[in-house]
Structure 1
Amino acid sequence: MEKGLVYVGMSGGVDSSVAAALLKNQGYDVVGVFMKPWQPAGVMCLWQEDREDALRAAAVIEIPLKTWDFSREYKKSVTDYMIREYRAGRTPNPDVMCNKEIKFGLFLKKALREGADYIATGHYVILEKGKLYQATDGNKDQSYFLWTLTPKQLKRCLFPIGNYIKPDVRKLAKKFKLPNYAKKDSQGVCFIGPLDMKEFLTKYIKPKPGKILHTDGRVIGTHDGVYYYTIGQRHGLDIKDGAGPYYVVAKNIKKNIIIVGENADTSSMSSRVSQFNWLADIKFPVKLEVKVRYRAKSSKAVLSKNGVLKFAKPERAITSSQSAVFYKHGRLLGGGIIL
């Protein structure tokens, strides 16, 4: 007996391919969907190659593969948003927006319109009884990027590989005879692939040279434009005093100045967060764990109703427009945007 119709977002990678194969083995009626993204000219990771990989995997699994062109919507909802944020001197997270607007926005809505009972992706995250938890593979956990999801959306979502570690996913791919079992993990911006962000941004935001100041007020270098740099950044700084290493600790957009200092100078005991989305009932003030960057370790903190987040220990490189994502005992509680 079939468990229902599932549309699986297939990127051509091993994770989404294994997700599709697992669901078919579990008795679901599975349809693969390749989402055609917007990609800038000259990017190495061409969508045509990924689509071919998805087609080959779907053929082995013996499921149909649809191709939905979301390039226009992706450009508007993700790329243009990203450029706007950088132009304002902030550092956005396009992967969060991609999940919100494309994968769990457009893709989910269109799949349901076509009669799907569920959508599935190859995200490393665990969904149990309507609650999201960090994946078994802590190194691959992607719950950080999914804080914008809603309980209504989660009722229609499946995450088949959340309980697996990556090496076991590759073993499953080999067992299923998937042709992409050894394909390297994708890197870079959601859908777009590897991207030199500064080089990409110069096509949309004109360089505007300015001064790099030390926290003590000395001019120690020059930059191409404050938009291209992010808080906590160490590399790519044109500094001439022969000391360091230095890190970006502040940016003044109006004066076109970057301020750098030692690593400790990037640390803070508090931050402000807005635009919250909650997947759990919260009573303020609340003690929780928070991640302020994808690869950061969770930190203990207290969040007040007014959005003030106080850390138990100094937290480095808190960056405006990045996501603050909240957890308790491995459960994803929700998140917000750092001001």
Structure 2
Amino acid sequence: MKPNKKKTVFVGVSGGVDSSVAALLLKKKGYNVVGVYIKSWYPPGFPCPYPIDRRDAIRVCAKIGIPFLELNLEKVYKKEVTDYLIKEYKKGRTPNPDVMCNKFVKFGAFFKKARAMGANFVATGHYARLKNGKLYQARDKTKDQSYFLWALTKKELKYSIFPIGEYLKKEVRQSAKKNNLPTAEKPDSQGICFLGKIDIKEFLKKYIKEKKGKVLNENGEVIGWHKGVYFHTLGERHGFTISKKTPEDKPYYIIKKDVKKNTLTVAHEIKGKNLVKIREINWIEKPKINKKYSARIRHLGELKEVIFTKQGVFFKEPVLVAPGQSLVLYDREKCLGGGVVVQ
């Protein structure tokens, strides 16, 4: 992040401490910084963080001494993130809305608007690093968000900055306190991007009707029931009822979903597969065939040893991964890109 007073950076300010410190660091580096609050879509009937977050974003910009803009992207967000989420769950898949939010909202509509308004760069408070146009894990491995950024293209990365990628979370907090930022003590947001603390299943029930179905064991015998196959994902051990069990029974895990028959198959042990295929692929740097890499199938999940093949991604140890999830490939700390898991 080289200082240049002539360069203008539009930074997404969410009203949280991370984006607040990102804006502060850019200002101190000598950039012409503009804070932009993105108004997203929020589900009716649930608590809405918009008024408080917007207020905090305004206060942060005033404290730092940078202009504040608000960009209404409700329509884009509703279509590309919320509608996508519901559509995928209806198909029995497990989508990652945060990936879509970054692709279509922050580094889609916001990125294009910022560049059109004269911004040389776009910045966010993501925990990730950029080196020579390539994406890397953050210094703070417990907060790394590169997994959510796999769908960004080289063009977007070329004009992006992640100011806090070299900082630990505690250092970000310390910087906010030292500079008396209004968000210094504000708790981190949790959960899915637009839902926050709202339970995903409670949200989905507003759009997908509950439908009682059978829970089967590996032999196809009915041993319980559930409220709808759409509300579950592979590997889960909660949310369904086992009626035929003994006190000595071990926990049951979902190992299969049948959307058409509305059934869940469960077992005491998770049985995965080695070869995982992906679609909607985006390579920031294309992996080499038959080379060893590491992969993640969930945010901050264990980095697993894999071999990239023509047929797909081959895991050294079998994994249970749900269709719709993101599989992200790494070469040490470098994020190569990824794709969406297919059936």
- Taking structure 2 as the reference length, the TM-score comes to 0.95
Equivalent position to 1:24, from 14, 23, 27: 27
d(CA) in 2 for partners of 1:258, 1:338? 19
DSSP-derived class of the 1:276 partner: strand
From the superposition, tell whether residues 119 and 221 of structure 1 become closer, same or farther in structure 2 (CA, over 3 Å): same
Does 1:103 find its partner at 2:106? yes
The answer to whether the 8 Å contact 1:43/1:194 transfers is no
After superposition, the C-alpha distances for 1:310-334 in whole angstroms (9 at most, x for unaligned) are 111122x311000000001110011
Q: For residues 158-187 of structure 1, give each alpha carbon's deviation from its aligned partner in whole angstroms, at most 9, with x where no partner exists.
A: 000001010000000011110110111111
Deviation at 1:109, TM superposition (A): 0.1
Is the 8 Å Cα contact of residues 271 and 310 (structure 1) preserved in structure 2? Answer: yes
Matches within 5 A, 1:162-177: 162-177=165-180
The answer to whether the aligner puts 1:92 opposite 2:95 as a matched pair is yes
Partner of residue 317, structure 2: 313
Shift of 1:263: 3.3
Moved over 4 A (4+): none
- Residue in 2 aligned with 1:274? 279
> What is the SS of the residue equivalent to 1:334?
strand
**In the alignment, which residue of structure 2 is the partner of 1:190?**
193
Name the aligned partner's letter for residue 102 of structure 1.
V
CA contact (8 A) 1:94 1:189 kept: yes
1-structure distance, mates of 2:338, 2:81: 19
The one of 263, 268, 275 aligned to 1:262 = 268
For residue 294 of structure 2, give the secondary structure of its aligned residue in structure 1.
Answer: strand
Cα drift, residue 45 of structure 1: 4.4
CA contact (8 A) 1:231 1:249 kept: yes
Question: How many Å apart are 1:3 and its aligned residue?
Answer: 4.3
**CA distance in 1 between partners of 2:118 and 2:104 (Å):** 20
Residue among 321, 325, 334 paired with 1:322: 325
Q: Equivalents in 2 of 1:43, 1:203: separation in Å?
A: 11
Q: Secondary structure at the residue paired with 1:59? A: helix
The percent of aligned pairs where both chains have the same amino acid is 49
8 Å contact 1:44–1:193 — kept in the other structure?
A: no
- Please point out which of 181, 185, 195 is paired with 1:178: 181
Q: Is the 8 A contact 2:10 2:114 kept in 1?
A: yes
Structure 2 counterpart of 1:253: 259
1:337 has 2:340 as partner: yes
| Amino acid in the other structure paired with 1:289 | S
Residue 208 (structure 1) aligns with: 211
1:292·1:324 contact (CA, 8 Å) conserved in 2? Answer: yes
Relative to structure 1, is the Cα distance of residues 237 and 244 closer, same or farther in structure 2, using a 3 angstrom cutoff?
farther
For the residues of structure 2 that align with 1:178 and 1:187, how far apart are their CA atoms? 21
Matched, 1:64 2:67: yes
SS in 2 for 1:264: coil
The corresponding residue for 1:244 is 250
Is the Cα–Cα contact under 8 Å of residues 45 and 193 in structure 1 kept in the other structure? no
Name the amino acid aligned to 2:77.
Y
- Which ranges of structure 2 fall in alignment gaps of 5 or more residues? none
Q: Secondary structure at the match of 1:263?
A: coil
Cα deviations by residue, 1:257-307 (Å, 9 ceiling, x for unpaired): 100112333x2222211221111133323321100111311111112123x
Unaligned runs of 5+ in 1: none
SS state at 2:270 partner = helix
Contact 2:287 2:308 in 1 (8 A): no
Secondary structure of the 1:141 match is coil
Measure how far apart 1:254 and its partner are: 1.1
